Each structure stands twice: as structure tokens, then as C-alpha cells.
């Protein structure tokens, strides 16, 4: 059973989310402040974290940074929640590298759909479990990524994006197709988060970042870097 950690101080919302996730077949862990949330994320290593931004003890951005910094939890996908619907906050959350984002008030059903989308895309498809392209190797079963045989910590979103591009190497992938494949829908905010994820992904690929090419106005393409 996949486990979801909810970090939310508003007990009513946490309970409502828990109820809906449990009904969808998830095991749910709860933390009501940022300090406990950080501890649980690192100690329990859930499959996904639903993280509110406005928290006592330690705010959601700080929890987010710590969870991402710690090697034990850096791969865990995170959906951010906020009470504030301003675009600036949404963009800040996505640029911090959240896998997805919901503004309050949100429908618990919508949250469950997004949790499903993120966790489903982490599952290995039947058939081949290993895929190699250039210096990259993907272990689809374990959702592990290797760069010239060295493991590199990618989030599940980064893994999915890079694998999608590499499995269709040397063909440009349209932005909207990438958004729909990875996030399940495309809109302006997610269009921006696509670029943020690509930027972070390239940083993690270091000198091999050039294997992912930006095709201006269209999308992205995996291809051998030009000499």
C-alpha cells in the first residue's frame, strides 16, 4: 500500500484529505506542524507528501527545502497546498520544485486525482525495466537513474520527464504533450513549472545536461550534444 504524508495544521482539512486518500486506497500519515512534518518525511519516507505552506513551527517552504536537501527524502514527490491563490505564490512553489500545486479551497477529489497521477507515473510499465540512452540508464522498476553508472537522485517528475524524452530520442516533444504526460493537464502555471523542472534536471545532469535540448517555441528533445 502506498503511503501519503499530510503536513497540515488545520485539523479539519487534514482529516478530510486523509479520509479521501484512505478511501482511494492509500495509507495516510499526518503531521500538524512543520517540524514534525520534516521529521516524519525523513524518518518514514512516504511515497508522496501533501504539504501545506502556512504551518506553525516551520513554514512549508522551509520543510520543502529540508526534505529536498536530505538524501533520504529528496526523491519524494511533493504536492503543495496554500490558502493564498495569488499567482506569485503558486509560481514560487513551483519554482521551488514542487511536483504539483493546489490552491485552497480545493476539492479533495481533485487532490486524490493529482496524487494518483503522480504515483501512477512512478510505476514501472510491464516489460522492459531498464532503459539506456547515451550516458543515461533508467531502472524503471526502482525508479532509479544512473549517469555513467553513478546513481543520481532525481525526483519522480524529473525521472519521468527525462525517460519520456529519451524513449523518444531525437524527436522534439511538444510542450503540451509533455505537460499532459507528466502532470495530466496543461495550463499556464504548469507550463512554467515544466521549464523549472527542466532547468533543475539539467543541473543534476551536470556536463551531460546538453543531452536535453530546448527547441524554442516548441518543446524539448533528447539528442547527443553537438560537438
Binding residues for Ca ion, rule: CB under 5 A, are 9, 52, 54
Nearest-approach distance from CB 46 to Ca ion, in angstroms = 19
- CB-wise, 33 or 195, nearer to Ca ion? 33
* CB-based contacts of 101, cutoff 8 Å, min separation 6: 79, 80, 82, 90, 93, 94, 189, 193
Residue 187: CB minimum distance to Ca ion, A: 24
| Maximum pairwise Cα distance, the chain | 57
Query: What is the nearest approach in angstroms of Ca ion to the Cβ of residue 52?
Result: 4
| Residue among 14 and 212 whose Cβ is closer to Ca ion | 14
Q: Cβ closer to Ca ion: 5 or 182? A: 5
Q: Which is nearer to Ca ion, 9 or 177 (CB)?
A: 9
Q: Which residue is nearest to Ca ion (CB)?
A: 54
Contact 21, 4 (CB under 8 A): yes
CB 20 to Ca ion: min, Å: 18
C-alpha closest to that of 52 among 72, 78, 87, 75 = 78
Residue 31: strand pairing partners = 7
Dist CA 162 CA 176 (whole Å): 15
Give whichever of 11 and 218 is closer to Ca ion, judged by the CB atom: 11
End-to-end Cα separation, the chain, in angstroms: 47
Residue 215's CB is within 10 A of a number of other CB atoms, namely 13
CB of 111 to Ca ion, least distance (A): 15
Amino acid at each position: 500500500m502506498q503511503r501519503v504524508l499530510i503536513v497540515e495544521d488545520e485539523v479539519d482539512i487534514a482529516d478530510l484529505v486523509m479520509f479521501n486518500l484512505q478511501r482511494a486506497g492509500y495509507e495516510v500519515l499526518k503531521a500538524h506542524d512543520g517540524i514534525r512534518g520534516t521529521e516524519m518525511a525523513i524518518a518514514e519516507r512516504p511515497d508522496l507528501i501533501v504539504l501545506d505552506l502556512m504551518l506553525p513551527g516551520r513554514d512549508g517552504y522551509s520543510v520543502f527545502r529540508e526534505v529536498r536537501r536530505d538524501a533520504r527524502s529528496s526523491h519524494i514527490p511533493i504536492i503543495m497546498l496554500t490558502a493564498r491563490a495569488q499567482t506569485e505564490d503558486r509560481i514560487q512553489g513551483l519554482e521551488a520544485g514542487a511536483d504539483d500545486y493546489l490552491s485552497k479551497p480545493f476539492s479533495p477529489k481533485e487532490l486524490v486525482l493529482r496524487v494518483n497521477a503522480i504515483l501512477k507515473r512512478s510505476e514501472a510499465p510491464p516489460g522492459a525495466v531498464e532503459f539506456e540512452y547515451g550516458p543515461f540508464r533508467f531502472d524503471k522498476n526502482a525508479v532509479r537513474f544512473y549517469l555513467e553508472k553513478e546513481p543520481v537522485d532525481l525526483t519522480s517528475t524529473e525521472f519521468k520527464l527525462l525517460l519520456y524524452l529519451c524513449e523518444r530520442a531525437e524527436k522534439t516533444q511538444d510542450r503540451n504533450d509533455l505537460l499532459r504526460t507528466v502532470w495530466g493537464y496543461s495550463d499556464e502555471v504548469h507550463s512554467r513549472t515544466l521549464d523549472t523542472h527542466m532547468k533543475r534536471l539539467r543541473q543534476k545532469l551536470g556536463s551531460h545536461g546538453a543531452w536535453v535540448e530546448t527547441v524554442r517555441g516548441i518543446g524539448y528533445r533528447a539528442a547527443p550534444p553537438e560537438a
